[in-house]
Amino acid sequence: MSEKSQNVQDVFLNNVRKSKNPVTVFLVNGVKLQGIITWFDNFSVLLRRDGHTQLVYKHAISTVMPSGPIQLFEPEKEEEASAATDPE
């Protein structure tokens, strides 16, 4: 079975996009942007706020911080089984 390799950037951005979780985007020049990520590709991100959309180039982004907790990966079945049998 071949398991498709996913990079953490795509998994993270897709998670906050699908969940419509508001994010704060810090740019390398210190500017802070806030909104909801509606789309992204290899080079840019669309950020929507108050009915307006901004195209932000990824090379200008320093940090993307979600407003709340997110779960990027599902726990593996072996970890779940181990946790269920571990009496801690």
- Looking at the predicted structure, is the pLDDT value of residue 80 above 50? yes
Q: Model-level pTM greater than 0.85?
A: no
- What is the pLDDT, as a whole number, of residue 1? 47
pLDDT digits (tens, 9 = 90+) for 12-57: 999 999 999 999 999 999 999 999 999 999 999 999 999 999 999 9
Side-chain-side CA neighbours of residue 67 (13 Å): 12
- What is the pLDDT, as a whole number, of residue 72? 80
The rounded distance, in Å, linking the Cα atoms of 28 and 64 is 11
| Angle at the Cα of 22 from the Cα atoms of 17 and 25, rounded to 5 degrees | 90
| Angle at the Cα of 15 from the Cα atoms of 17 and 10, rounded to 5 degrees | 95
Q: Does domain 8-85 have CATH number 2.30.30.100?
A: yes
